[in-house]
Amino acid sequence: MKESPSPGLCCRIEMRVPSVTGSLAVVRAALHAMGGAFGLCEADDHDVCLAVDEALANVIQHAYAGQSDQSILVAIELRGSAGDGSVSISIEDRGRAVRPEEIRGRALDELRPGGLGVHIIRSVMDDVEYAAGPEGGTILRLGKRLGRHGKNEQARRADASAPRSPTRDGGPRQRDEETDEGGTQA
């Protein structure tokens, strides 16, 4: 693992991107650049990109329901060092707020497309919290400790498959992407 440019450094970037699927590659590229400069290991870099990508896809598909004239605010903050630091992410939309009773998790013991995005986010991030936005919509906050890939990380990921209590993810509301449409999402 490369050393961070300066121990204790705090780097923050904010991006406001349109609510279109083409934004996914743009945000991933920015995250790769930031992670590379910070010295993130390959696994952490991938985890962060995957979580943000799945969260953005969720907003585009479900919160905005395909409306392409909206925007999403993405903020990423890296603190400490790549080997012993943390990343905090917030993803804010002003789309349709989803009521908890409208959504549900997705069991992994069945083979079918759809509904895997939130499971993936929970698997690769340590903290996942949904909150109501100040002007409507939802703010998703994600957190992860860096430099922990190894046996312990594998165990933690396995644990992410276990059923969750409502309080573990905090927040008054949750959004999931459970769908029976099949086809283009998992």
Asked if residue 92 lies in contact with residue 139, where contact means CB atoms within 8 angstroms, the answer is: yes
Nearest by Cα to 10 from 76, 83, 84, 77: 77
Of residues 6 and 154, the one with the C-beta less far from other proteins? 154
Q: How far is the CB of 34 from other proteins (least distance, A)?
A: 12
Q: How far is the CB of 1 from other proteins (least distance, A)?
A: 16
Phi/psi region, residue 80 (left: phi>0; alpha: psi -120 to 50; beta: rest), is: left
Burial class (CB in 10 A: 0-12, 13-18, 19+), 110: exposed
Binding interface with other proteins (CB under 8 A): 21-22, 24-25, 28-29, 32, 42-43, 46, 49-50, 53-54, 57, 60-61, 108, 111-114, 116-117, 119-120, 123-124, 157, 161, 182-186
Instruction: Starting at the earlier edge strand, list the strands of the sheet with 71-80.
Output: 9-18, 71-80, 86-92, 138-145, 127-132
* Tokens, residue 100: 């908890």
Of residues 2 and 157, the one with the C-beta less far from other proteins? 157
Euclidean distance between the first and the last CA atom of the chain, given in angstroms as a whole number: 32
HSE, side-chain direction, 13 A CA sphere, residue 26: 14
Q: How far is the CB of 111 from other proteins (least distance, A)?
A: 5
Of residues 7 and 113, the one with the C-beta less far from other proteins? 113
Of residues 57 and 131, the one with the C-beta less far from other proteins? 57
Of residues 79 and 105, the one with the C-beta less far from other proteins? 105
Q: How far is the CB of 41 from other proteins (least distance, A)?
A: 12
Q: How far is the CB of 102 from other proteins (least distance, A)?
A: 20
